[in-house]
Structure 1
Amino acid sequence: MVGLNERIRTFYDQSTPLWLTTWGEQMHHGYYGPDGRRRVDHRQAQLDMIEALLQWGGAPDGVGSFLDAGCGVGGSSRYLARRYPGATGLGVTLSPVQAERGRDYNRLAGVDDRLRIVARDVYSLDPTTDGTYDLIWSMESAEHMADKQGLFDLFFRLLKPGGRLLMATWCRRPEPPYLSPSDQYTLQQICKLYHLPPLVSVPELGAAAGASGFEEVQTADWSAAVEPFWGAVIRSGLDPRNWPGLVRSGVGTMQGAWAMRYMRRGFATGAIQYGVVAARRPSSARPTPPQSAPAHS
């Protein structure tokens, strides 16, 4: 049986060219104001998402180094590189196609001397890089990673003392009230078609961050702020001009397009939540948490 990482890699290798043609280099939700009612171009909303998370999470004014964990083609990475012109950055993605396209974008943006994008598993980052980063950015990638506690332990070790973690990720509604059979089916289909391990709740993410040793942990549900994005994505999927690219991208991408209906349903019923997490590694010297074995497929 093909492992989870291989399925994720194949999905993004196949679907990324279509996404880039249709939506551009930002491969994440847009932000439409706290209640989702702000009317803005959807590509602008994707940029607004980056800035909203930076502001909400208390991103530092000065950053010397950052990690974009699960960077896609590096849209957020380049935004951070421009926002912090003296910083060096590393973007990590499982997809070789995304890494290659990201490096092309870096050259076009003139940041290739400060920003590297590589194809590798984030759990496999060299332990000698512990204590390297002022900022770790995780934009809609943690939902693909099965070992959430191991992920927070890793991020804690990689950050410098006083460094900050900012994360946005797909979640499920916390229980109780318990998810209905219909909601459970919706979540199962989303996980199957987008190659995700079982989703966790926003409170579970906050608890994992605290268990790793982070302080100033804050979490929130931004579902209302991002829900309009799926209407825009579905409309793009229904545009006949995009159908040839969808067919060329393969069965996996077409299944992902079919999964959009489940995402829309999940937001409508509240089964899906869009979680954000901000946390800080303590400035004072203290032992880092023990390294946990990542759950690889």
Structure 2
Amino acid sequence: MLSFHVEKSLAQQGSRTSSPSSSTTCLHRHAQPLSRRANSRRRLHTLRAQKQERSEAVLDLDAPSTSTPHHMAKAQEVYRTADAGIPQATSSTSNSLAELAASNPAGLATAAAALGLTTFGLVKLFNKGSRSYSNNVGQEYDAWTEEGILEYYWGEHIHLGVYSEAERAAGYTKKDFKQAKYDFIDEMLRFSGAPPNPQSILDVGCGFGGTSRHLAKKFPGAQVKGITLSPKQVERGTELAKEQGVPNASFQVMDALAMSIPDNSYDVVWACESGEHMPDKKKYVEEMVRVLKPGGTLVIACWCQREETPDKPFTDREREELQFLYDEWAHPYFISIQEFERLMKGTGKMEGIVGEDWTPQTLPSWLHSIWVGVVDPWIVISKGPRIWYKTIREIVTLVRMHKAFESGLMEYGLIRGAKLPDGSMTWSQQEAQKEPVAASQ
């Protein structure tokens, strides 16, 4: 999937060798008239066979792979449906790139140059930012859900994965991209310090419901509810729960800033990469604390900007970069890990508040998400020019996100806390009691 400007970065990150020309040439061939698509289809099968022989750790489109533990049947169906409209190759068709180059080398070179210039122009355009912020994240996720591409590549989890120090040293492409996301859930659960047998879990901003189902399987005695602004995600999450036999996971369209849930309802409130989209972070935290039971656990994973201080204010360049990241994926603004801690403390109902920066463990996810498309671009190719255009735009944003986290402008924050039991002193009261003691020493 368009390796144009990421090959150098991928190579520096220790990824496997790929052929930049193969991806872009295949994209060019699909853009030709329908009669030429037969060539692309036959070459597609040839490349698939070569990929299988090399035992690449990528998704097999035709059957569940033992190297991919969480195969997405729905995404396969989406691919096959789109794929069905492409005519099959015949034995009389000239089908190799070498034959095409030999028969019309000048035409091939001209087309490749045109594609390169077009791609370069689009990258320049998208790097300037072309989507001003609008509070429409539910609609965005509806569209991504219907297209099927996000689920195909990212699986059931629309969040970053985690990579151990050893996995990063070995090269992130050696790890299954989707498995990294399951590992992240388990690591986030460990970090949360949640009780071993929760009876109720709320997943705030649940996406397709992958985390909700994973937690429901891990805790079969718990009722797990996922909420999202996207009706399509609720529909897909419910469908997958039925397919996987997870009756204790349910999904509902609900605004996280105005939850129709009684106070003190859940043992665990879980929020993974939903805070980025919230236009009121204070209300977001307060609502989650409100529905959390006394003694319960709140855990948040969120893309955060670094803490701005008088000694280290944001530069004009950093503000420009942040504005780009705000606009491109329906982000009103980011806050720092420290600000999330302050918001939790400010409720006066939380204790044991801890924030950590998990940027090193999650950083490989950005380029890894591009890599899985580079080695397996066919679902994007089959969708046509509108999706190609959109894909280039998303790749540009992924690269910009990677650079922002790598440079320290952005940080991947995990924040946890426990709600004080009924009758206990609030955090503010506890702090007030400590002050006289400290003053007397």
**Under a length normalisation based on structure 1, what TM-score does the superposition of the two structures give?**
0.88
Map Cα deviations across residues 226-249 of structure 1 (whole Å, 9 max, x no partner).
000111112234453243348555
Letter of the 2:396 partner, please give it: W
Classify the secondary structure of the residue corresponding to 1:135: strand
Give, in whole Å, the separation in 2 of the partners of 1:246 and 1:25: 24
The answer to whether the Cα contact below 8 Å between 1:136 and 1:155 also exists between their aligned partners in 2 is: yes
| 1:241 maps onto 2:378 in alignment | yes
**1:282–1:15 Cα change, 3 Å:** same
Give the alignment partner of residue 133 of structure 1, picking from 241, 266, 275. Answer: 266
The answer to whether the Cα contact below 8 Å between 1:131 and 1:157 also exists between their aligned partners in 2 is: yes
Instruction: Report what 1:89 is aligned to.
Output: 224
Gaps of at least 5 residues in structure 1 are 290-297
Give, in whole Å, the separation in 2 of the partners of 1:288 and 1:215: 8
Comparing 163-172 and 29-38, the one that deviates more: 29-38
Classify the secondary structure of the residue corresponding to 2:339: helix
The answer to whether the Cα contact below 8 Å between 2:298 and 2:417 also exists between their aligned partners in 1 is: yes
**Structure 1 residue 254 displacement after superposition:** 5.4
Map Cα deviations across residues 264-285 of structure 1 (whole Å, 9 max, x no partner).
1101211111000111001233
Letter of the 2:274 partner, please give it: S
The aligned runs of 1:1-297 (5 Å cut-off) are 4-5=134-135, 7-16=136-145, 17-33=148-164, 37=168, 39=172, 40-111=175-246, 113-127=247-261, 129-176=262-309, 177-212=312-347, 213-239=349-375, 240-244=377-381, 245=383, 247=385, 255-285=393-423
**Structure 1 residue 252 displacement after superposition:** 6.2
The answer to whether the Cα contact below 8 Å between 1:66 and 1:88 also exists between their aligned partners in 2 is: yes
Classify the secondary structure of the residue corresponding to 1:260: helix
Instruction: Provide runs of 4+ in structure 1 moved above 6 Å.
Output: 250-253
Map Cα deviations across residues 184-229 of structure 1 (whole Å, 9 max, x no partner).
2221111101110111000000000111121100001101110001
The answer to whether the Cα contact below 8 Å between 1:139 and 1:167 also exists between their aligned partners in 2 is: yes
Give, in whole Å, the separation in 2 of the partners of 1:246 and 1:157: 46
Aligned length: 285
**Structure 1 residue 119 displacement after superposition:** 1.9
**Higher gyration radius (CA):** 2
Give, in whole Å, the separation in 1 of the partners of 2:221 and 2:396: 42
Give, in whole Å, the separation in 1 of the partners of 2:386 and 2:402: 25
**Under a length normalisation based on structure 2, what TM-score does the superposition of the two structures give?**
0.61
Map Cα deviations across residues 169-194 of structure 1 (whole Å, 9 max, x no partner).
00001123222322222211111011
Comparing 20-29 and 249-258, the one that deviates more: 249-258
RMSD over aligned Cα atoms? 2.4
Q: Higher RCO, 1 or 2 (CA under 8 Å, sep at least 6)? A: 1
The answer to whether the Cα contact below 8 Å between 2:133 and 2:331 also exists between their aligned partners in 1 is: no
Letter of the 1:13 partner, please give it: D
Identity %: 32
**Structure 1 residue 37 displacement after superposition:** 2.2
**Structure 1 residue 257 displacement after superposition:** 3.5
Q: Which has the higher helix share?
A: 2
Map Cα deviations across residues 96-147 of structure 1 (whole Å, 9 max, x no partner).
1111110111001111x322111221223215x2111000110111111121
**Structure 1 residue 162 displacement after superposition:** 0.4
Letter of the 1:133 partner, please give it: Y
